[in-house]
Homo-oligomer: A and B are copies of this chain.
Amino acid sequence: MAPKNAFYAQSGGVTAVINASAAGVIETARKHGDRIGKVFAGRNGITGALKEELIDTSHETDDEIRALIHTPGGAFGSCRHKLRNIDENRHEYERLIEVFRAHDIGYFFYNGGGDSQDTAFKVSQMAERMGYPLNCIGIPKTVDNDLPFTDCCPGFGSVAKYVATSTLEASLDIQSMCDTSTKVFILEVMGRHAGWIAAAGGLAGKNPGDAPHIIVFPEHPFEREAFLNKVDQCVKDHGFCVVVASEGAQYEDGRFLAEAGQKDAFGHTQLGGVAPTLANMVKQSLGHKYHWAVADYLQRSARHIASQTDVEQAYAVGEAAVNYALEGRNGIMPIIKRESSDPYRWHISEAPLNEVANQEKKMPIHYTTDEGFGITADCRAYLEPLIQGEAFPPFEKGLPKVAKLENRPVEKKLKADFKL
């Protein structure tokens, strides 16, 4: 019997290492040409399958597929498209199976966060209902580090390394100038619902008094007075104060600081900007000279300072997904199991998609200090291994070299022009 083809798609916010997972999938599939035919990638994620916009990765050279390991972003395009439940939205699931059948696809690999794992699970259910043989395997990915079961999420370790490194470097800058210039520096980082990324900033400081002096977590209701008092005390004690603030920082009542009334000249609310909001508080109440930075997408695409550990794990979950599929497994997701923190040892295990779907892993409360402005030794012990090792990309003419894929489309076989 001819080998079945595989479908691979990237979903949700991309990371510095999601393409390393893609390389893990494609390289492993190529090793098993006897059982896996071509790997088709969805152009812009699952919507590519729905629109029958498939990319034939078999045209890419082995070298370019290897180059995916050091290429940030999503090489085949990603999307934010959540399939609703099967009863409300049966036609989309049926369409997927129709497309898979038309292209003889027997393996479904979906690389994303919680929503994506939910989708992968529903697709596996639908395939069963329709009696279509399909091995559905989820592949974990998210800088938010909020997937359950897995010890960490591929993508997070590299953001953590970027944020810790940037905090360390900027702190040295402020420290040297604080006598006559900027005294307060605020770095805003990602993490809408959890403070994992902000916590990573804490790795920059090893000893008491080291910067960052304050971390603003979404997990702790923001108290203006406590924050300002701490800032002022830091400036008194150290001459300067470095703050790492999560974009998800919020007041007791749940209002995000980023939406707390910044208005432009036209009176429109200015969305985004925890950092400028905090900086304004400092200026108005304390009068200290401040600077602020918002890393935004720079942090999740910073492949140049990716964590080697993260790159290896991202590749490993892609490789494991294919191997699970070849074992005939279905409805599972490879996960990272930590064996020990020091020395750091881990291996790949698995979790059932139906339990992964739509569960959010919160940061343990004992990972933050009681006053709520710092990380604990437990948190440090958890985070430190994840930023170990450098995985510098090759450079060409002073800039990182990235994969240049052909992304050749697969000829459509279905007449119906599907509307999303």
Residues of A within 8 A of B (CB): 10, 13-14, 16, 44-45, 47, 71-81, 161, 164-166, 168-170, 172-177, 179-182, 185, 187, 203-204, 260-266, 268, 270, 272-273, 275-277, 279-280, 283-284, 291-298, 300-305, 307, 384, 387-390, 392, 395, 397-400, 402
Residue of B44, B78, B262, B402 touching A262 (CB-CB under 8 A): B262
Q: Knowing that A74-B176, A173-B300 are A-B contacts, what are 14 other residue pairs whose CB atoms are under 8 Å apart, sorted by A's residue number?
A: A14-B173, A44-B176, A45-B180, A47-B179, A72-B169, A74-B177, A77-B175, A77-B179, A80-B181, A166-B302, A168-B402, A170-B296, A261-B264, A266-B284
Interface pair B273/A73, CB less than 8 Å apart: no
Do B398 and A161 touch across chains, with their CB atoms under 8 A apart? yes
Q: Which residues of B contact A399 (CB under 8 A)?
A: 161, 164-165, 168, 203-204, 387
Contact B400–A165 (Cβ < 8 Å): yes
A142 CB, nearest partner CB in chain B, Å = 14
CB distance from A359 to the nearest CB of B (A): 23
B181 touches A79 (CB 8 A): yes
- A48 nearest in chain B by CB position: B179
A-B contact pairs, 20 of them (CB 8 A): A44-B176, A45-B180, A47-B180, A73-B175, A74-B176, A74-B177, A165-B304, A165-B400, A169-B302, A170-B296, A261-B265, A262-B270, A270-B276, A272-B279, A273-B273, A291-B297, A293-B294, A293-B297, A384-B398, A392-B392
Whether the pair B296, A293 counts as a contact (CB closer than 8 A) is yes
Given A14-B176, A181-B79, A298-B166, A263 and B263 touching (CB < 8 A)? yes
Indicate whether A172 sits within 8 Å of B71 (C-beta atoms), given known contacts A262-B262, A262-B270.
yes
B301–A304 contact, CB under 8 A?
no
Task: Tell which of B73, B297, B384 touches A397, judged by Cβ atoms closer than 8 Å.
Answer: B384
